[in-house]
């Protein structure tokens, strides 16, 4: 940086629109060819020489104590190389599927046989997995302190209309298609090589060092590609550590442990359930003045935290209570936009019910109160208008209850959301080689969001060279550390660091080239594969020739985020609308169309940005209609730890999806903002509201299964409830 | 309290003979045992390792595998063909889709031993002379992938669909890709990709 | 999966000789779409698999106007769907087979396997047995989560549902099975093939461990027959129907001369409803008559606690299947 200040160069900022040849355009991802041909290697695909297969014996009970553990038979089995008890006699187990013993064997079938030969006796203890009723939870209900803002009592007295409702969403899982897991091997006594499916390549070594008793610097972590994370893959996990221990026991041979699908769904992450009773009060004209909520939910053993409600709109007078329910349903993990989908549903559904009570169009109610969104109010206003046009809302909206004849009822719903998404801390090394090729290295990861491609776009655009000339290397602790990919912080972090590195590299190159072109460095610019004098394109030199002047020494520059210049900020705003059909005889909900209008500041790659929104809407449809981690009260187990009854939306279940990204000076000015989570927040609320609009009654909980829809209809008591 | 340990089956070799009236011939030194049943000789493979031969993407592969090994695990663990993915391992997601004699199957639900003598096509076999298959090209252009873990399965399922029906209607698409799931939510891109691939194939 | 030995006989006689006469020791391998999952989940643990796909006489599909349809047991669902005569004469079967939405399952799964596949009850699949009881003998289904379980024929001790989509359609058409075993060939009406087990030792169908379903025989369609299958399904992809109904109505002019109404996913067996059939016979099919038949079909239905909604779905499925058969009504 010092060098840069000394030269008093232009500040660090994003290029003006006319200087963007790649940024903001629709660019195909650079790792597409690898992925479509099956050449892309994921952790699951890593097969190392001499590799052993690791497997884990899991406890079938939701709450138990280990009474006896005998691995002696297994230790003698041919092909078994290491046996590692992960629990001992007397240990308490708090959820079904918890790890008890790990083994490593020459191949998977042998490892499976070994697991079956282990003898464990359990003392069963009482379990509890129900989360919908805090009263039934007894001492497992842990109330949090009440939160009050303003004067809710006075505000409710002042309110002319009060709507009250029950809302919530079930426990769901991440269901990453690539299961969690790792391949670990020791090189000698002190060095460990880890291939792991992770959202935080640079963060893994530090977490393994303690348990393994080796310095973090001796642990090398690698990952080329990852098959989904969604918030659940930030640590080495007990099985990653187990793989390392087994490997050590087996003389350093690589050990691969990838979770089986059932374990993946049982123990590798869940999004906490949240339910709540909400009251909202408003003036007759729709001005919302009062909020009261009592929420409860479970994320397993650690208590759930209170929700950020009311969501987006800061209703002036509020009272909030929360009860955490402690259950044996397994560990929770961050799930794409933690707490937001739940807070969004509770708020947007309550406001939708309020609109119904006011006999108002919910879109008008949102617009009426949009100033409560604060700083971003104008963005929401603009987005709501665009979404309404794309959905033909004004033409197609009807008050609650589709009056048309026949069993199929149609309805519209709307919701808004927000997410911070400021870029994380990140470093990268950018090298310009004398042959003109450019390399960027950083210990980041590409979750499928297009991180590699975004980095390449930023660097190529800054250096004025084609995308193909930039080679991005990520996923290795030998590269400069980069933050974990969570909280939609990656795009802001990596693009800012890459931009700074590229600008600095360019400065250094300019300094070398300037004399050749009879100019000062600050008169130069890089454009279209050449370095040229601003305003005099005839004085220029081809990129390759300029690089050849590096005297055979590659030029390497470190880029960082945070750093000078506001290249990334926080606060994405988005709006979604849903159009659904409900068969009121069967309770089946189908999506006709969804619209997402989203802002994320400056867009680096329009193609992958849109893909994020499509993907998030689809994930949203999936949790709105189908997904539930079904916990069995009797056995305490998850009943659907498979992809047959843990239902994900399929290609035919999503209707027509429309994405509109906000662009233009006003948005560019804010720099890059993350997009990974925002668009996954609203679908639940938008779809729930659309269903209420269609059938004239609120279905309180997601997923909106036929069972729940029919029950709501029956309660409404309409003649529709039965045919 | 409950005990969890291996429950060995109750069937001994002698029981076998008794229950089904099988007569055992002298076992061969190498290769499968042979049973004489219903007037014919039937080879018995396993339960230990059995030499197997496969034709995958036109090439011959050999391995010694137990009969319990699935085609998917054989591809991934023995032949380093890791394009087909193991996700559910139960025939419920499509990530392991390969073609057997041109038909789409879940490789996780086929035993390797059964796949011998059949033409196995995996995603690795779709490129021709180093050129991407039009479906693969269309997947890239329409961004029909994110993390990409489901992608090989979808690409192969698309191939099976277009081979059978070069002109799919939207309903055909649903029917043809009704055996694959994606967690990242790439269906919009996939729909666009297959429409483009169909156009490209018709055009050229 | 546990280790097993594998045989691939080429005649049904060999196959039968290779099968054990005790359940659990050997299993028949057809498409494997169900069996391998059961083995991976350690629900069945055969010591030997007998692959029947190499047996030529179990293959093939043929139709004649006089004898009807013959489907070899190892005919795949796609082969069934590729057959023009099946489309022409047995629409309820086509609709049922198309309900298996995965092309991969359709190109692997066989018709025989679809009929002999095991229940998807989540307690059965996690090792608690067909009757889903814990060590103390109490029913996990009754006390646990029974949202997908039986609403008919659920007096106990079995509460699972028969998963086959093809069976209701085939039963509606009066199909028979040809079964080959140590004592030769026997034929059984498909409707009688399924049964509700009373103990853990029984299977849910009438088959000895060393018997093989070899053929499915469907009578020729009588003049004046209309038929349809209606499935209530939540997802369009890779999902089981929540309830299905297959109906076959034979008309005499405007009036129904004979009727078959068979429900799927509602009982431990495919569930023929004589009540619904009686409500149809002798009548012209009006909306009221269809509704009366639908109501009759669930007259004896009973919720186990969490599956009340399936009664409503069954009612709708029957009515819509009838309406679809006679041409009209709500289609999915
Ligand atoms: C995700 C998913 C969704 C599905 N959805 C549906 C659906 O909607 N409707 C539906 O009907 N099915 C559905 N299926 C089930 C599928 O249709 C069956 O798995 C398939 O038809 C079974 O045929 P198979 O040949 O693969 O049987 P296998 O798996 O080979 O065998 C199944 C069982 O039948 C026995 N068996 C097989 N053939 C014979 C025979 N000829 N004689 C005696 N016993 C025999 C086997 O021993 C085994 O016990 C679905 C499956 C999956 C995985
Ligand atoms: S892994 Fe084979 S279908 Fe899922
Ligand atoms: S692209 Fe990630 S699962 Fe489909």
Ligand in nearest proximity to the CA of B150: 3
**In this structure, is residue B190 part of a structural domain?**
yes
Whether the Cβ atoms of residue C271 and residue C205 lie closer than 8 Å to each other: no
**In this structure, is residue C84 part of a structural domain?**
yes
Q: Are strands C68-72 and C61-64 parallel, antiparallel or unpaired?
A: antiparallel
How close A600 gets to chain B, by Cα (Å)? 19
What are the structure tokens assigned to C219, written together? Answer: 């009578």
Quick check: helix, strand or coil at residue A23? coil
B150 and B106 assigned to the same domain: no
B118 and B144 assigned to the same domain: no
Of A67, A108, A120, the CB nearest to B73: A108
Task: Please tell me the distance between residue C36's alpha carbon and the centre of ligand 1 in angstroms.
Answer: 10
Query: Which residues lie across from A126 on neighbouring strands?
Result: none
Which residue, B91, B107, B125, sits at the end of a domain?
B125
Whether the Cβ atoms of residue A74 and residue A288 lie closer than 8 Å to each other: no
Query: Among all residues of chain B, which has the CA nearest to that of A175?
Result: B183
Q: Which of C187, C153, C113, C104 is nearest to C263 (CA)?
A: C153
B172 and B192 assigned to the same domain: yes
Q: Which of A498, A409, A504 is nearest to A460 (CA)?
A: A498
Cα–Cα distance between A673 and A663 in angstroms, integer?
Answer: 12
Which residue, C218, C237, C260, sits at the end of a domain?
C218
How close B27 gets to chain A, by Cα (Å)? 24
C85 and C112 assigned to the same domain: yes
**In this structure, is residue B11 part of a structural domain?**
no
Whether the Cβ atoms of residue A118 and residue A70 lie closer than 8 Å to each other: yes
CA distances to B21, C167, C176 from C180, rounded to whole Å, are: 16, 19, 13
C85 and C213 assigned to the same domain: yes
B63 and B104 assigned to the same domain: yes
Choose, out of A30, A37, A41, A623, the residue to mutate when testing the contact with B (most B CBs < 10 Å).
A37
What is the rounded (10 degree) CA torsion for B103, B108, B109, B115? Answer: 60
C196 and C234 assigned to the same domain: no
Of B9, B43, B160, the CB nearest to C103: B160
**pLDDT higher than threshold 80 for residue B13:** no
Question: C164 CB under 6 A from ligand 1?
Answer: yes
Cα–Cα distance between A41 and A141 in angstroms, integer?
Answer: 45
What mean pLDDT comes out for the span B158-187? 94
First to last CA, chain A: 74
Q: What is the CATH number of the domain that holds B117?
A: 3.10.20.30
Tens place of pLDDT for every residue, chain C, 332 residues?
A: 999 999 999 999 999 999 999 999 999 999 999 999 999 999 999 999 999 999 999 999 999 999 999 999 999 999 999 999 999 999 999 999 999 999 999 999 999 999 999 999 999 999 999 999 998 889 999 999 999 999 999 999 999 999 999 999 999 999 999 999 999 999 999 999 999 999 999 999 999 999 999 999 999 999 999 999 999 999 988 899 999 999 999 999 999 999 999 999 999 999 999 999 999 999 999 999 999 999 999 999 999 999 999 999 999 999 999 999 999 543 33
Cα–Cα distance between A630 and A131 in angstroms, integer?
Answer: 11
Complete domains list, chain A, with CATH: 2-40+423-561 (3.30.365.10), 43-126+180-258 (3.90.1170.50), 270-421+569-716 (3.30.365.10)
The predicted structure's pLDDT at residue B14: 40
Which residue, B125, B150, B170, sits at the end of a domain?
B125
- Cβ contacts (< 8 Å) between A650 and chain C: which residues? 101, 235-239
Cα–Cα distance between A520 and A48 in angstroms, integer?
Answer: 53
- Cβ contacts (< 8 Å) between C236 and chain B: which residues? 174, 178
Residues in chain B: 204
Q: How many domains are contained in chain C?
A: 2
DSSP symbols for A495-559:
HHHHHHHHHHHHHHHHHHHGGGGTS-GGGEEEETTEEEETTEEEEEEEHHHHHHTTTTPPEEEEE
The predicted structure's pLDDT at residue C328: 58
Of B42, B48, B175, the CB nearest to C7: B42
The reply to whether A650 touches chain C by the CB within 8 Å rule is yes
The predicted structure's pLDDT at residue A10: 52
C213 and C300 assigned to the same domain: no
Identify the domain containing residue B113 by its residue range.
Answer: 50-125
The reply to whether B175 touches chain C by the CB within 8 Å rule is yes
C231 and C213 assigned to the same domain: no
Identify the domain containing residue C96 by its residue range.
Answer: 58-116+162-218
Cα–Cα distance between A295 and C131 in angstroms, integer?
Answer: 39
**In this structure, is residue B43 part of a structural domain?**
no
Strand locations in C45-163, DSSP E? 48-51, 61-64, 68-72
What mean pLDDT comes out for the span B161-182? 92
C207 and C229 assigned to the same domain: no
Residue A142's H or E segment, with its range, is strand A141-143
B121 and B139 assigned to the same domain: no
First to last CA, chain B: 68
Whether the Cβ atoms of residue C18 and residue C4 lie closer than 8 Å to each other: no
Residue A5 banded pLDDT, cuts 50, 70, 90? very low
**pLDDT higher than threshold 70 for residue B204:** no
Task: Please tell me the distance between residue C317's alpha carbon and the centre of ligand 3 in angstroms.
Answer: 34
Cβ distance B37 to C4 less than 8 Å, yes or no, reads no
The reply to whether A265 touches chain C by the CB within 8 Å rule is no
- A401-447 pLDDT tens trace: 999 999 999 999 999 999 999 999 999 999 999 999 999 999 999 99
B64 and B103 assigned to the same domain: yes
Mean pLDDT across chain A: 96
Whether the Cβ atoms of residue C309 and residue A711 lie closer than 8 Å to each other: yes
C72 and C209 assigned to the same domain: yes
The predicted structure's pLDDT at residue A1: 40
Complex ipTM tops 0.90: yes
B141 and B194 assigned to the same domain: yes
The reply to whether A561 touches chain C by the CB within 8 Å rule is no
The reply to whether B195 touches chain A by the CB within 8 Å rule is no
- Cβ contacts (< 8 Å) between C103 and chain B: which residues? 104, 157, 160-161, 175-179
**In this structure, is residue C248 part of a structural domain?**
yes
C171 and C101 assigned to the same domain: yes
Question: A177 CB under 6 A from ligand 3?
Answer: yes
C293 and C243 assigned to the same domain: yes
Edge-first strand listing for the sheet containing C255-264: C225-233, C241-252, C255-264, C271-272
- Cβ contacts (< 8 Å) between A109 and chain C: which residues? 1, 3
Phi, psi of C310, deg, nearest 5: -70, -25
C240 and C205 assigned to the same domain: no
**In this structure, is residue C71 part of a structural domain?**
yes
Q: How many domains are contained in chain B?
A: 2
C203 and C314 assigned to the same domain: no
Which residue, B125, B156, B174, sits at the end of a domain?
B125
Quote the Cα angle for C289-C292-C297, to 5°.
130
Phi, psi of A664, deg, nearest 5: 120, 170
The reply to whether B63 touches chain A by the CB within 8 Å rule is no
What are the structure tokens assigned to A495, written together? Answer: 């693009």
- A52-107 pLDDT tens trace: 999 999 999 999 999 999 999 999 999 999 999 999 999 999 999 999 999 999 99
Whether the Cβ atoms of residue A576 and residue A686 lie closer than 8 Å to each other: yes
C101 and C197 assigned to the same domain: yes
**In this structure, is residue C28 part of a structural domain?**
no
**In this structure, is residue B165 part of a structural domain?**
yes
**In this structure, is residue C264 part of a structural domain?**
yes
Cβ distance A227 to B147 less than 8 Å, yes or no, reads yes
Q: What is the CATH number of the domain that holds B197?
A: 1.10.150.120
**pLDDT higher than threshold 70 for residue B12:** no
Phi, psi of A184, deg, nearest 5: -125, 140
Q: Which among C29, C76, C105 is the best mutation to test ligand 1's pocket, defined by most ligand atoms within 8 Å of the CB?
A: C105
The reply to whether A113 touches chain C by the CB within 8 Å rule is yes
Of B9, B20, B114, the CB nearest to C17: B20
The predicted structure's pLDDT at residue B203: 78
Of C3, C145, C236, the CB nearest to A653: C236
Global pTM reads: 0.96
B146 and B121 assigned to the same domain: no
Cα–Cα distance between B177 and C159 in angstroms, integer?
Answer: 33
- Cβ contacts (< 8 Å) between C122 and chain A: which residues? 639-640, 645
What are the structure tokens assigned to B56, written together? Answer: 């995958």
How close B64 gets to chain C, by Cα (Å)? 14
**In this structure, is residue C256 part of a structural domain?**
yes
In this structure, the residue with its CA closest to atom 18 of ligand 1 is C114
Whether the Cβ atoms of residue B68 and residue B46 lie closer than 8 Å to each other: yes
B103 and B147 assigned to the same domain: no
Q: Which of C153, C327, C291, C93 is nearest to A585 (CA)?
A: C291
Burial of A50 (0-12, 13-18, 19+ CB in 10 A): exposed
Task: Please tell me the distance between residue B87's alpha carbon and the centre of ligand 2 in angstroms.
Answer: 5
Q: What is the CATH number of the domain that holds C207?
A: 3.30.465.10
């Amino acid at each position: 940086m010092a060098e840069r200040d000394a030269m008093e160069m232009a500040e660090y900022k994003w290029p003006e629109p006319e200087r963007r040849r790649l940024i903001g355009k629709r660019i195909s991802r650079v790792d597409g060819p690898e992925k479509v041909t099956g050449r892309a290697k994921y952790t699951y695909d890593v097969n190392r020489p001499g590799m052993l297969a690791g497997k884990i014996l899991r406890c079938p009970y939701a709450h138990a104590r280990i009474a006896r553990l005998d691995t002696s038979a297994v230790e003698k089995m041919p092909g078994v190389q290491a046996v590692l008890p992960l629990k001992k006699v007397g240990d308490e187990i708090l959820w079904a599927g918890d790890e008890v013993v790990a083994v490593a064997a020459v191949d998977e079938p042998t490892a499976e046989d070994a697991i079956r030969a282990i003898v464990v006796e359990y003392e069963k203890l009482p379990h509890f997995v129900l989360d919908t009723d805090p009263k039934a939870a007894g001492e497992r209900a842990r109330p949090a302190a009440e939160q009050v803002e303003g004067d809710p009592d006075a505000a409710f007295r002042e309110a002319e209309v009060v709507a009250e409702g029950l809302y919530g969403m079930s426990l769901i899982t991440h269901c990453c298609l690539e299961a969690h897991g790792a391949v670990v091997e020791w090189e000698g006594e002190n060095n460990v090589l880890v291939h792991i499916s992770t959202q935080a390549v640079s963060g893994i070594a530090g977490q393994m060092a303690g348990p393994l008793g080796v310095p973090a610097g001796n642990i090398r972590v690698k990952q080329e590609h990852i098959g989904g994370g969604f918030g659940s893959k930030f640590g080495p996990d007990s099985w990653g550590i187990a793989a390392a221990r087994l490997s050590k026991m087996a003389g350093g041979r690589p050990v691969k442990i990838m979770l089986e699908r059932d374990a993946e769904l049982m123990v590798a992450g869940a999004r906490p359930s949240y339910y709540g009773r909400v009251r909202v009060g408003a003036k007759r004209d729709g001005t919302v003045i009062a909020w009261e909520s009592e929420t409860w939910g479970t994320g397993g053993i650690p208590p759930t935290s209170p929700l950020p409600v009311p969501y987006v709109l800061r209703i002036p007078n509020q009272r909030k209570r929360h009860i955490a329910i402690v259950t044996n349903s397994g560990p929770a993990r961050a799930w794409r936009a933690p707490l937001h989908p739940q807070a969004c549903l509770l708020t947007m559904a309550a406001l939708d019910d309020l609109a119904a009570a006011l006999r108002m169009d919910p879109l008008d109610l949102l617009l009426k109160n949009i100033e409560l969104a604060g700083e971003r109010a104008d963005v929401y206003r603009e987005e709501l208008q665009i979404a309404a046009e794309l959905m033909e809302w004004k033409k197609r909206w009807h008050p609650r209850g589709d009056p048309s004849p026949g069993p199929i009822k149609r309805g519209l719903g709307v919701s808004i959301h927000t997410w911070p998404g400021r870029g994380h801390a990140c470093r990268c090394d950018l090298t310009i080689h004398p042959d003109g090729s450019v390399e960027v290295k950083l210990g980041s990861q590409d979750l499928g969001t297009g991180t590699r491609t975004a980095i390449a776009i930023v660097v190529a655009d800054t250096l004025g060279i084609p995308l193909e000339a930039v080679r991005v290397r990520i996923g290795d602790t030998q590269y400069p550390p980069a933050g974990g990919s969570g909280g939609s912080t990656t795009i802001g972090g990596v693009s800012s660091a890459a931009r700074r590195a590229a600008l600095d590299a360019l400065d250094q190159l300019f300094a070398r080239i300037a004399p050749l072109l009879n100019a000062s460095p600050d008169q130069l610019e890089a454009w279209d594969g050449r370095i040229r004098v601003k305003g005099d394109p005839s004085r220029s030199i081809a990129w390759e020739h300029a690089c050849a002047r590096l005297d055979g020494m590659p030029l390497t520059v470190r880029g960082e985020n945070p750093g000078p210049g506001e290249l990334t900020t926080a606060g994405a705003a988005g709006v979604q609308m849903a159009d659904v059909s409900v068969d009121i005889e069967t309770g089946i909900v189908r999506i006709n169309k969804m619209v997402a209008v989203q802002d994320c500041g400056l867009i680096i790659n329009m193609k992958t940005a849109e893909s994020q929104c499509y993907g998030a809407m689809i994930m949203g449809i999936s949790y709105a209609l189908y997904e539930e981690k079904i916990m069995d009260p009797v056995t305490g187990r998850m009943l659907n730890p498979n992809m047959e009854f843990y239902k994900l939306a399929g290609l035919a279940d999503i209707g027509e999806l429309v994405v509109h990204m906000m662009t233009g000076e006003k948005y560019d000015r804010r720099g890059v903002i993350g997009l990974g989570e925002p668009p996954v927040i609203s679908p639940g609320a938008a779809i729930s509201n659309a269903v209420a609009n269609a059938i004239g009654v609120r279905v309180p909980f997601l997923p909106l299964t036929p069972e729940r829809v029919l029950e709501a209809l029956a309660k409404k008591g309409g003649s529709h409830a039965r045919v | 309290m409950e005990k969890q340990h291996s429950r060995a089956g109750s069937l001994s070799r002698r029981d076998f003979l008794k229950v089904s009236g099988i007569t055992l011939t002298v076992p061969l030194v190498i290769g499968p045992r042979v049973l004489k049943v219903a007037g014919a000789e039937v080879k018995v493979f396993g339960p230990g390792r059995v030499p197997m031969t496969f034709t995958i993407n036109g090439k011959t592969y050999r391995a010694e595998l137990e009969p319990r090994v699935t085609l998917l695990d054989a591809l991934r663990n023995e032949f380093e063909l890791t394009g087909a993915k193991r996700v559910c391992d139960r025939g419920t997601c499509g990530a392991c889709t390969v073609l057997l004699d041109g038909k789409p199957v879940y490789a996780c639900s086929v035993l390797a031993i059964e796949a011998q003598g059949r033409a196995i096509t995996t995603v690795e076999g779709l490129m021709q002379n180093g050129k991407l298959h039009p479906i693969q090209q269309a997947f890239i252009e329409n961004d029909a992938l994110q993390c990409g873990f489901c992608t090989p399965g979808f690409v192969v399922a698309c191939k099976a669909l277009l081979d059978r029906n070069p002109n799919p209607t939207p309903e055909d698409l649903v029917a043809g890709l009704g055996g694959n799931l994606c967690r990242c939510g790439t269906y919009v891109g996939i729909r666009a990709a297959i429409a483009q691939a169909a156009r490209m194939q018709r055009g050229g | 999966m546990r280790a097993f030995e594998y045989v691939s006989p080429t005649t049904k006689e060999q196959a039968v000789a290779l099968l054990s006469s005790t359940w659990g020791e050997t299993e028949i391998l057809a498409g494997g779409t169900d069996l391998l999952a059961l083995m991976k989940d350690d629900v069945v643990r055969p010591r030997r698999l007998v692959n029947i796909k190499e047996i030529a006489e179990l293959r093939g599909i043929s139709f004649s106007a006089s004898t009807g349809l013959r489907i070899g047991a190892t005919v795949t669902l796609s082969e069934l769907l590729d057959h023009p005569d099946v489309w022409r004469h047995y629409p309820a079967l086509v609709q049922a087979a198309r309900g298996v939405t995965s092309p991969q399952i359709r190109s692997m799964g066989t018709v025989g396997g679809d009929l002999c596949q095991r229940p998807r009850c989540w307690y059965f699949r996690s090792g608690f047995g067909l009757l889903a009881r814990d060590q103390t003998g109490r029913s996990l289904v009754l006390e646990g989560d029974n949202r997908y379980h039986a609403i008919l024929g659920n007096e106990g001790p079995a509460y699972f549902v028969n998963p086959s989509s093809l069976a209701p359609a085939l039963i509606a058409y009066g199909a028979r099975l040809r079964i080959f075993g140590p004592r030769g060939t026997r034929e059984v009406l498909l409707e009688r093939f399924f049964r509700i087990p009373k103990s853990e030792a029984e299977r849910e169908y009438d088959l000895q461990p060393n018997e093989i379903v070899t053929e499915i025989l469907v009578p020729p369609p009588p003049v004046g027959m209309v038929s349809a299958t209606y499935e209530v399904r939540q997802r369009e992809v890779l999902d089981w129907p929540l309830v299905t109904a297959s109906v076959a109505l034979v008309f005499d002019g405007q009036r129904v001369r004979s009727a078959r109404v068979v429900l799927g996913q509602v009982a431990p067996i495919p569930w023929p409803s004589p009540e619904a059939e009686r409500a149809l016979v002798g009548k012209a099919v009006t909306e009221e008559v269809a509704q009366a038949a639908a109501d009759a079909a669930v007259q004896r239905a009973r919720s186990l606690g969490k599956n009340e909604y399936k009664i409503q779905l069954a009612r709708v499925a029957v009515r819509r299947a009838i309406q679809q058969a006679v041409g009209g009504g709500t289609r999915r």
